[in-house]
Amino acid sequence: MTDVIVAPSKEREAGLAGIGSHRKRKEDPRLIQGKGQFLDDLKLPGTVFGDFVRSPHAHAKIKAIRADKAKAVPGIIAVLTAEDLKPLNLHWMPTLAGDRQAVLAHEKVHFQNQEVAFVVGEDRYAVADAIQLVEVDYEALPVVIDPKKAMAPNAPTLRDDLTGKDNAGQGPRRHPNHIFNWSVGDKAATDKAFAGAAVTVKEDIAYQRVFPCPLETCGCVASMDPVRGELTLYGTFQAPHVVRTVVSLIAGLPEHKIHVIAQDIGGGFGGKVGAYPGYICSAVASIVIGRPVKWVESRMDNLSTTAFARDYHMTGELAADKDGKIRALRVYVLADHGAFNAHAQPTKWPAGLFSIVTGSYDIGAAHVAVDGVFTNKAPGGVAYRCSFRVTEASYLIERMVDVLALKLGMDPADLRRKNLIQPEQFPYKSALGWEYDSGVYPAALEKALKAVDYKGLRQEQAEKRKRGELMGIGLAFFTEIVGAGPTRNCDILGIGMFDSCEIRVHPTGSIIARLGTKSTGQGHETTYAQIIASELGIPSDDIMIEEGNTDTAPYGLGTYGSRSTPVAGAACAQAARTIREKAKKIAAHMMEVSETDLEWDVDRFQIKGVPQKTVTMKQIAMAAYSNVPAGMQHGLEATNYYDPPNFTYPFGAYICVVDVDRFTGETKVRRFYALDDCGTRINPMIIEGQVHGGLTEAFAIAMGQEIVYDETGNVLGASLMDYFVPTSVETPVWETDFTVTPSPHHPIGAKGVGESPNVGGVSAFSNAVIDAFAHHGVTHMPMPHTPWRVSEVCHRLGIDK
Amino acid sequence: MIPGNFDYHRPGSVDEAAALLGRLGEDAKVLAGGHSLLPMMKLRLAEPKSLIDLGAIAELRVIREKDGVLQIGAMATEAALIASDLIRRHCPLIAEAAALIADPQVRNRGTIGGDIAHGDPGNDHPAIMLALGASFVLRGGKGERVVAAGDFYRALFETAMKADELLVEIRVPALRPGTGASYQKLKRKVGDFAIAGAAAVIGIKDGRCGHAAIALTNVGPTAVNAEAAAALLVGKAIDEALIGEAAKLAMSACAPTADLRGPVEYKTRMAGEMTRRAIREALKRAKGG
DSSP string, B174-209: PPPTTEEEEEEEEESSTTPPEEEEEEEEEEEETTEE
CA distance A763 to A750: 24
CB pairs under 8 A between A and B: 53
Are B244 and B277 found together in one domain? yes
Give me the mean pLDDT over the B62-86 stretch: 98
- The beta-carbon neighbor of B260 closest among A663, A722, A795 is A722
Please confirm, yes or no, whether A794 is among the known catalytic residues. Answer: no
pLDDT-based confidence at A493, cuts 50/70/90? confident
| pLDDT tens digits, B25-42 | 889 999 999 999 999 999
CA distance A563 to A499: 9
Give me the mean pLDDT over the B273-286 stretch: 98
Are B159 and B97 found together in one domain? yes
Range of the domain at B34: 7-52
pLDDT-based confidence at B203, cuts 50/70/90? very high
CA of A729: how far to CAs of A372, A418, A696, A733, in Å? 39, 38, 12, 10
Are B88 and B138 found together in one domain? yes
The torsion angles phi and psi of A700, rounded to 5 degrees, stand at -60, -45
Beta bridge partners of A475: A655
SS3 (DSSP) at A414: helix
- Closest chain B residue to A129, measured at CA: B4
Which residues have a Cβ under 8 Å from the Cβ of A696 and sit 6 or more positions away?
A726, A731
Give chain B positions within 8 Å (CB) of A722.
Answer: 260
Interface touch B2/A128, C-beta < 8 Å: yes
Which residues have a Cβ under 8 Å from the Cβ of B257 and sit 6 or more positions away?
B264
- To the nearest whole Å, the CA of A711 is away from the closest chain B CA by 14
In chain A, where the domains are located: 9-34+499-642, 39-141+217-265+272-305, 390-482+648-797
- The beta-carbon neighbor of B269 closest among A124, A729, A795 is A795
The residue of A661, A663, A793 whose CB has the most chain B CBs within 10 angstroms, and thus the best one to mutate to test that interface, is A663
Beta bridge partners of A135: A66
Quick one: pLDDT at residue B25? 84
Give chain B positions within 8 Å (CB) of A665.
Answer: 266
Give chain B positions within 8 Å (CB) of A786.
Answer: 188, 262
Quick one: pLDDT at residue B100? 97
The identity of residue A224, as a single letter, is M
- The beta-carbon neighbor of A788 closest among B103, B191, B263 is B263
Q: Is the pLDDT of residue B263 over 80?
A: yes
- Closest chain B residue to A662, measured at CA: B273
Quick one: pLDDT at residue A4? 65
| pLDDT tens digits, B67-76 | 999 999 999 9
CATH classification of the domain holding B128: 3.30.465.10
Angle at B153 between CA B148 and CA B158, to 5 degrees: 140
Give me the mean pLDDT over the A199-214 stretch: 97
Closest C-alpha among A548, A556, A47 to residue A261: A548
Please confirm, yes or no, whether A386 is among the known catalytic residues. Answer: yes
Interface touch B2/A125, C-beta < 8 Å: yes
pLDDT-based confidence at A2, cuts 50/70/90? low
- To the nearest whole Å, the CA of A668 is away from the closest chain B CA by 12
- Closest chain B residue to A706, measured at CA: B260
Are B189 and B154 found together in one domain? no
Give the DSSP H/E element, type plus range, for residue A60.
strand A60-66
Does B260 contact A at CB distance below 8 Å?
yes
Q: How far is CA A389 from the centre of its chain?
A: 9
- To the nearest whole Å, the CA of B172 is away from the closest chain A CA by 31
Structural domain count, chain B: 3
Interface touch B1/A788, C-beta < 8 Å: no
Q: Which residues of A touch B (CB under 8 A)?
A: 124-125, 128-129, 132, 298-300, 663-666, 704, 708, 716-717, 721-722, 724, 726-727, 729-730, 786-788, 791-792, 795, 800
- Closest chain B residue to A124, measured at CA: B2
Instruction: Please give the CATH superfamily to which domain A39-141+217-265+272-305 belongs.
Output: Aldehyde oxidase/xanthine dehydrogenase, a/b hammerhead (3.90.1170.50)
Q: Is the pLDDT of residue A417 over 60?
A: yes
From chain B residues 95-134, the ones with a CB under 8 A of any chain A CB are 103
- The beta-carbon neighbor of B189 closest among A125, A727, A800 is A727
CA distance B224 to B255: 9
Beta bridge partners of A542: none
Q: Is residue A331 within 8 Å of A192, Cβ to Cβ?
A: no
**Domain presence at residue B125:** yes
Q: Is the pLDDT of residue A694 over 60?
A: yes
Are B73 and B169 found together in one domain? yes
Question: Given A385, A416, A662, A681, which residue is catalytic?
Answer: A385
pLDDT-based confidence at A381, cuts 50/70/90? confident
Asked if this assembly's ipTM is beyond 0.90, the reply is: yes
Does B44 contact A at CB distance below 8 Å?
yes
**Average pLDDT taken over every residue of chain B:** 97
pLDDT-based confidence at A710, cuts 50/70/90? very high
pLDDT-based confidence at A346, cuts 50/70/90? confident
CATH classification of the domain holding B226: 3.30.390.50
CA distance B111 to A335: 47
Last residue of a domain, one of B158, B173, B188: B173
Give me the mean pLDDT over the A518-522 stretch: 96
- Region class of B196: left (phi > 0), else alpha (psi between -120 and 50), else beta: beta
pLDDT-based confidence at A387, cuts 50/70/90? confident
In chain B, the percentage of residues whose pLDDT exceeds 90 is 97
pLDDT-based confidence at A344, cuts 50/70/90? confident
CA distance B108 to B100: 13
Closest C-alpha among A303, A283, A307 to residue A295: A283
Q: Is residue A505 within 8 Å of A636, Cβ to Cβ?
A: yes
Q: How far is CA B287 from the centre of its chain?
A: 25
The residue of B188, B193, B268 whose CB has the most chain A CBs within 10 angstroms, and thus the best one to mutate to test that interface, is B188
**Domain presence at residue B134:** yes
SS3 (DSSP) at A643: coil
CA distance A320 to A323: 8
Please list the helix, strand and coil fractions of chain B in percent, rounded to the nearest 5, in that order: 40, 30, 35
Which residues have a Cβ under 8 Å from the Cβ of A93 and sit 6 or more positions away?
A100, A101, A103, A250, A275, A277, A280
C-alpha torsion angle, residues A429, A432, A438, A441 (rounded to 10): -110
CA distance A283 to B265: 51
In chain A, the percentage of residues whose pLDDT exceeds 70 is 100
- To the nearest whole Å, the CA of B284 is away from the closest chain A CA by 20
CA of A583: how far to CAs of A58, A600, B244, in Å? 62, 10, 82
Interface touch B190/A722, C-beta < 8 Å: no
Quick one: pLDDT at residue A170? 86
| pLDDT tens digits, A768-792 | 999 999 999 999 999 999 999 999 9
**Domain presence at residue B21:** yes
Last residue of a domain, one of B120, B149, B173: B173
From chain B residues 165-204, the ones with a CB under 8 A of any chain A CB are 186, 188-192, 195
| pLDDT tens digits, A220-244 | 999 999 999 999 999 999 999 999 9
State the fold for domain A390-482+648-797.
Aldehyde Oxidoreductase; domain 4 (3.30.365)
Beta bridge partners of B77: B111
Q: Could you tell me where the beta strands, DSSP code E, fall in B108-157?
A: 135-140, 143-148, 153-155
- The beta-carbon neighbor of B270 closest among A132, A664, A716 is A664
Please confirm, yes or no, whether A755 is among the known catalytic residues. Answer: yes
Q: Which CATH number does the domain A9-34+499-642 belong to among 3.40.50.620, 3.40.50.880, 3.40.1160.10, 3.30.365.10?
A: 3.30.365.10
**Domain presence at residue B273:** yes
Q: Is the pLDDT of residue A251 over 90?
A: no
Are B101 and B44 found together in one domain? no
Interface touch A717/B195, C-beta < 8 Å: no
Q: Is residue A252 within 8 Å of A229, Cβ to Cβ?
A: no
Are B157 and B110 found together in one domain? yes
Quick one: pLDDT at residue A490? 93
Give me the mean pLDDT over the A403-427 stretch: 98
Can A9-34+499-642 and A39-141+217-265+272-305 be said to share one CATH topology?
Answer: no
The residue of A52, A210, A302, A664 whose CB has the most chain B CBs within 10 angstroms, and thus the best one to mutate to test that interface, is A664
Interface touch B270/A729, C-beta < 8 Å: no
CA of A353: how far to CAs of A189, B17, B91, B221, in Å? 21, 64, 60, 49
Quick one: pLDDT at residue A166? 86
Closest C-alpha among A92, A135, A136 to residue A277: A92
- To the nearest whole Å, the CA of B137 is away from the closest chain A CA by 32
Does B270 contact A at CB distance below 8 Å?
yes
**Average pLDDT taken over every residue of chain A:** 96
Q: Is the pLDDT of residue B289 over 70?
A: no
| pLDDT tens digits, A107-146 | 999 999 999 999 999 999 999 999 999 999 999 999 999 9
Task: Output the DSSP codes for A551-599.
Answer: TTSPP---S-TT-IIIIIIHHHHHHHHHHHHHHHHHHHHHHTS-GGGEE
Alpha helices in A111-217 (DSSP H): 124-133, 147-150, 187-195
pLDDT-based confidence at A348, cuts 50/70/90? confident
Quick one: pLDDT at residue A382? 81
Quick one: pLDDT at residue A5? 75
| pLDDT tens digits, A12-51 | 999 999 999 999 999 999 999 999 999 999 999 999 999 9
SS3 (DSSP) at A375: coil
CA distance A204 to A201: 11
Are B94 and B162 found together in one domain? yes
DSSP label at residue A86: G
- Closest chain A residue to B266, measured at CA: A788
Does B273 contact A at CB distance below 8 Å?
yes
Indicate if the alpha-carbon torsion angle A489, A493, A499, A504 is positive or negative. positive
- The beta-carbon neighbor of B189 closest among A125, A300, A730 is A730
CA distance A399 to A768: 10
Give the DSSP H/E element, type plus range, for residue B71.
strand B69-73
CA distance A621 to B232: 89
Are B48 and B122 found together in one domain? no
pLDDT-based confidence at A629, cuts 50/70/90? very high
Give me the mean pLDDT over the A636-664 stretch: 98
- The beta-carbon neighbor of B195 closest among A717, A727, A787 is A787
Last residue of a domain, one of B173, B203, B221: B173
- To the nearest whole Å, the CA of B101 is away from the closest chain A CA by 13
The identity of residue A464, as a single letter, is K
Quick one: pLDDT at residue A3? 59
Question: Given A213, A218, A281, A386, which residue is catalytic?
Answer: A386
**Domain presence at residue B276:** yes
**Domain presence at residue B1:** no
Please confirm, yes or no, whether A385 is among the known catalytic residues. Answer: yes
Quick one: pLDDT at residue A450? 98
Range name among A181-185, A574-578, B29-33, B141-145 with the lowest pLDDT average = B141-145
